[in-house]
Amino acid sequence: MKKQLANLGCLLLGIVLGVGGCLLVSFLSGGSLSLSRRSAPEPVSVVSTDVKHEELAKLSIAIAERIAAGDYESLSSYVHPVYGLVFVPYSTVNLGSNQCFTPQRVAITGKDNSLYVWGVKYGSDEPIQLTAAAYFSEYVYDRDYAHAPVMGFNTVLRSGNALENVAAAFPDGQFVDLYFPSTSAEANDWRILRMVFEDCEGEMKLSALIHGEYTD
């Protein structure tokens, strides 16, 4: 009798685990990107239910990895060949004053010792005068965005008081937010790397890199 009860208990446990496993697989496949489809670690949370965003997710991670490695020559191959790459230090896009690099100029970032004015610093209004490589370090890849814990699509995940006008500035584009939330409820140390993509002969190309952080 005890043996029969033990066998029955094992059978019930197997059924529960099996059903739970199926539900878990179903949840993962329906609500986020497949873990097996990307070489980079998957963000903890993907703010999208559209499977079409998988391509943009892969593209964004590939670009972040190139930036992290300082491989600007490879990065240049992702840049829009007609519109170039716009650099925005604080959320608000101003196509009249933001720096815009051609793919060729992006490719030589690591060798370019020229100083550029990228905008003004938040809080002091002093010019942001940096080489391209220094700008990438301070206003593009200031977090490990290739492993960002949250990824959003065509959704501004967090903002301060700066005008969020990415959709108006790039009406035909799509954007991806690679987002690091604040480290605590009291802190405002969140960061976003926003990548804007526009179509070029059927291929999505990088048109802007927008840095987001808290501003009041």
Give the CATH number for residue 129: 3.10.450
Q: Are residues 18 and 123 in the same domain?
A: no
Contact 78/71 with Cβ under 8 angstroms? no
Residue bearing the bigger pLDDT, 188 or 44: 188
- How many Cβ atoms from other residues are within 10 Å of residue 86's Cβ? 21
Q: How many residues does the chain have?
A: 216
Q: Are residues 57 and 19 in the same domain?
A: no
Q: Are residues 11 and 95 in the same domain?
A: no
Residue bearing the bigger pLDDT, 93 or 8: 93
The answer to whether position 158 is within a domain reads yes
pLDDT by residue (tens digit) across 79-114? 999 999 999 999 999 999 999 999 999 999 999 999
Residue 166 has pLDDT above 90, yes or no: yes
The answer to whether position 37 is within a domain reads no
Which pLDDT belongs to residue 77? 98
Residue with tokens 């550029």: 116
pLDDT by residue (tens digit) across 120-132? 998 888 999 999 9
How many independent structural domains does the chain possess?
2
Q: Are residues 53 and 16 in the same domain?
A: no
Which pLDDT belongs to residue 200? 97
Q: Are residues 9 and 80 in the same domain?
A: no
114, amino acid identity? S
Angle (CA) 52 53 57, round 5°: 140
CA distances from 182 to 37, 42, 68, 85, 152 (A): 28, 19, 21, 28, 16
Mean per-residue pLDDT for 151-157? 92
pLDDT > 90: what percent of the chain?
66
Q: How far apart are CA 212 and CA 156, in angstroms?
A: 10
Q: Are residues 6 and 113 in the same domain?
A: no
| 85 DSSP β-pair partners | 101
Q: Which residues form the domain of 53?
A: 49-213
pLDDT by residue (tens digit) across 22-76? 333 333 333 223 222 223 334 445 555 565 688 999 999 999 999 999 999 999 9
pTM: 0.77
Q: Tell me the pLDDT band of 162, cut-offs 50, 70 and 90.
A: confident
Q: How far apart are CA 30 and CA 64, in angstroms?
A: 25
Q: Are residues 88 and 193 in the same domain?
A: yes
| 192 DSSP β-pair partners | 179, 212
The answer to whether position 87 is within a domain reads yes
